[in-house]
Amino acid sequence: MTPSFRPSHPGALMFDLIIRNGTIVDGTGEPRKVGDIAITAGRITQVGGSVEGDATQVIDATGLIVTPGFVDHHTHYDGQATWDELLEPSSMHGVTTIVAGNCGVGFAPARPSEHRQLIELMEAVEDIPGSALTEGLTWDWETFPEYLDALDRRVWSIDVAAMIAHSALRVYVMGDRGARNEASTDADIATMGQLVAEAVEAGALGFSTSRTLGHTTRDGVPVPGTFASEDELFGIAAAMSTASKTGLFEIAELGAAGEDAEGMLKELDWMRRVSLEFGTKITYLLLQFASTPDQWREMLSRTNAARAEGADLTAQVANRPFGMLIGFPSYHAFQKRPTYVALAQQGLHGAALAAELRKPEVKTAILSETDTADSGTHFDGLAPIIQAMLGQLFPLNDDCDYEPTADMSIEALARTAGVDPFDYLYDMMCEKDAGNLMMLPFFNYVDGNHDALYEMMQHPATVIGLGDGGAHCAMICDASMPTYMLSHWVRDRSRGPRIELEAAIRMQTKDGADLFGLSDRGTLEVGKRADLNIIDLETVGIEPPYSIADLPAGGSRLLQDAHGYVATIVAGEVTRRDGVDTGARPGRLVRGRR
């Protein structure tokens, strides 16, 4: 469907923008309705019915859905927000507000002597190229309030909010003791609490910490704060609650990566007690693990029980398998083979790399070699893991099927073709000029379908999250999950129940906004911020992921384009039209819960 974008005829203008005759899905979960929406000065002034009057711009949305802008509250744009106005890939997928500072990693507070350490930490935990961070970060701050001031001097295509991260805070207060995860003193805790209170008063939405053993430095050392005592955690929560009764505590808890099932349950207990004692909102990460496939149900059952006591706990869940993309632009089964490493060190990529890889003698050498070379990455140990999981490695193909059946795995396809699975994998990875990527679901796919995900998303104690926009640059591109929600869960799923459109939109708008206290957005209501999407539900979808070297210092990342977004509107301005950036930059820093 092709809507019309037109300037108004000359005369008296009552509004800045009118969207006419769209199917309004307002984010509350209420049934859709056909009508108009009027916008003035960045706010919604009428929803539904027929708007009388004219506007500077009128969009005919006949046959299209009109939704609130999506709120992505689990991102890692802490560094990227200081140099990039677009904040892709999130802004490509209907997101109009992001929250950074998750999982206990960030860049404030920080003294100059700590910059390198925090960059290396972010690179190790979130797979963001250190060279890109080194060149791109402006470091025009030391304290967290100064970091917010630095962001406040910038403009983007979407809005940005942030939390203060435990790792940076602990290093700033405790120095090497904090980095080494030594026990904090009463004085340390008091200082950390004071700085968190100052951050929240300045506009931080809350505090984040990581306690999962899956988050380590390049040397394999758990990140600062991993083993923080209850005294430290409770002390920070107490200080935050004194500064603001609405500050949120975000946690990548022990066991979040499947490493300690019993520890995960114990984590939930102290979260419950923190919330009850200080009235703190707490959100934690929840996935399905092969080792304990029903653990997530027990976590949600206990979360419900804690809620019944008055605790405010919410689990963040994903809407598709959680793992990584495998291929030559990412990490792969051959990354430690000497012949491949020698090619990679030449800086070859794209067609030039594919031409070399397709040479029979090169292919023969790589397939016959053992893993004896150093790939030069923090994730060097992934190669043998990938090699052992070819039965769970799936081509994405052009349809980007994240719910494939077992007969679609590399192992099964190779068996059908009568060839060695590594030979088959190698050839598939060479496709698309050595840019072809495949899905390896570590989590959320134990049963080979999305039934567990469906149950997680429908649970009253969960919100959709875990997109990790801006992070895992060579590993995933889950920032495309908002689009996948519409194309797969609302429209295309065939292997189980779908999600109603109204519920899917609520999950990606109001639910996240409410969790983080952003009450001025997330629904299409009079007086709310005019952040909207106009979407062709019949065609909306995601494209295959690809690698692009567009970060500072030539750093690479994975992107995944979308189609079917007719317009994205932020504060009343059209920022993307038919998926293309318009150059409008109405996005600003969001200070504090609204």
- Split at pLDDT 50, 70, 90, the class of 443 is very high
What CATH number is given to the structural domain containing 155? 3.20.20.140
- Assess if residue 400 is contained within a domain: yes
Please check whether residues 200 and 160 belong to one and the same domain.
yes
State what percent of residues in the chain have pLDDT above 70: 98
pLDDT recorded at residue 218: 84
Please check whether residues 355 and 214 belong to one and the same domain.
no
- Assess if residue 428 is contained within a domain: yes
The more confident residue out of 244 and 400 is: 400
> Once rounded to an integer, what is the mean pLDDT over residues 459-483?
97
CA 586 to chain centre: 22
- Split at pLDDT 50, 70, 90, the class of 34 is very high
- Split at pLDDT 50, 70, 90, the class of 329 is very high
Query: Phi-psi region for residue 194, left (φ > 0), alpha (ψ -120 to 50) or beta?
Result: alpha
pLDDT recorded at residue 91: 98
* Number of domains the chain is built from: 2
Contact 83/136 with Cβ under 8 angstroms? Answer: yes
- Split at pLDDT 50, 70, 90, the class of 246 is confident
User: Could you write out the three-class secondary structure of 1-38?
Assistant: CCCCEEECCCCCCCEEEEEEEEEECCCCCCCCEEEEEE
pLDDT recorded at residue 39: 98
- Quote the CA–CA distance of 223 and 201 in Å, as a whole number: 26
- Split at pLDDT 50, 70, 90, the class of 379 is confident
Please check whether residues 417 and 312 belong to one and the same domain.
no
Tokens representing residue 335 in the block = 């990354």
Contact 53/14 with Cβ under 8 angstroms? Answer: yes
406-419 pLDDT, tens digit each = 999 999 999 999 99
pLDDT at residue 205 tops 80? yes
Please check whether residues 381 and 284 belong to one and the same domain.
no
Please check whether residues 185 and 333 belong to one and the same domain.
no
Q: Which of 249, 245, 236, 211 is nearest to 101 (CA)?
A: 249
Please check whether residues 107 and 227 belong to one and the same domain.
yes
**Range of 398's domain?**
324-442
| DSSP string for residues in 276-333 | HHH--EEEEE----SSSTTHHHHHHHHHHHHHHHT-EEEEEE-SS-EEEEESTTSB-T
pLDDT recorded at residue 2: 52
pLDDT recorded at residue 270: 97
Give the position of tokens 């700590």.
114
Please check whether residues 285 and 399 belong to one and the same domain.
no
Give the position of tokens 């469906």.
454
- Assess if residue 196 is contained within a domain: yes
- Split at pLDDT 50, 70, 90, the class of 244 is confident
Please check whether residues 345 and 274 belong to one and the same domain.
no
- Quote the CA–CA distance of 77 and 155 in Å, as a whole number: 14
pLDDT recorded at residue 377: 80
213-238 pLDDT, tens digit each = 999 998 889 999 999 999 999 999 99
| DSSP string for residues in 202-240 | HT--EEEEE--TT-B-TTSPBPTTTT--HHHHHHHHHHH
The more confident residue out of 374 and 36 is: 36
- Assess if residue 268 is contained within a domain: yes
- Quote the CA–CA distance of 525 and 591 in Å, as a whole number: 21
Query: Phi-psi region for residue 374, left (φ > 0), alpha (ψ -120 to 50) or beta?
Result: beta
Please check whether residues 329 and 278 belong to one and the same domain.
no
Please check whether residues 198 and 270 belong to one and the same domain.
yes
pLDDT recorded at residue 7: 57
* C-alpha gyration radius of the chain: 24
pLDDT at residue 11 tops 70? no
pLDDT recorded at residue 302: 98
> Once rounded to an integer, what is the mean pLDDT over residues 54-68?
97
Report helix, strand or coil for 156: strand
The more confident residue out of 378 and 5 is: 378
> Once rounded to an integer, what is the mean pLDDT over residues 457-479?
96
- Assess if residue 118 is contained within a domain: yes
- Assess if residue 524 is contained within a domain: no
pTM score: 0.96
pLDDT recorded at residue 378: 75
The burial of 230, by beta-carbon neighbours within 10 Å (0-12 exposed, 13-18 middle, 19 or more buried), is given as exposed
- Assess if residue 131 is contained within a domain: yes
Q: For the chain, what is the total number of helices (H) and then of strands (E)?
A: 19, 26
Angle at 476 between CA 474 and CA 482, to 5 degrees: 140
Please check whether residues 291 and 183 belong to one and the same domain.
yes
Query: Phi-psi region for residue 246, left (φ > 0), alpha (ψ -120 to 50) or beta?
Result: alpha
Neighbours of 592 (CB within 10 A): 17
Contact 47/9 with Cβ under 8 angstroms? Answer: no
Give the position of tokens 């990527």.
437
Please check whether residues 216 and 290 belong to one and the same domain.
yes
- Assess if residue 508 is contained within a domain: no
pLDDT at residue 6 tops 70? no
pLDDT recorded at residue 349: 87
- Split at pLDDT 50, 70, 90, the class of 593 is confident
Buried b (16+ CB within 10 A) or exposed e, 163-173: bbbbbbbbbbb
Across the chain, what does the average pLDDT equal? 96
Q: Please give the torsion angle defined by the CA atoms of residues 338, 342, 348 and 352, in that order, rounded to the nearest 10 degrees.
A: -70
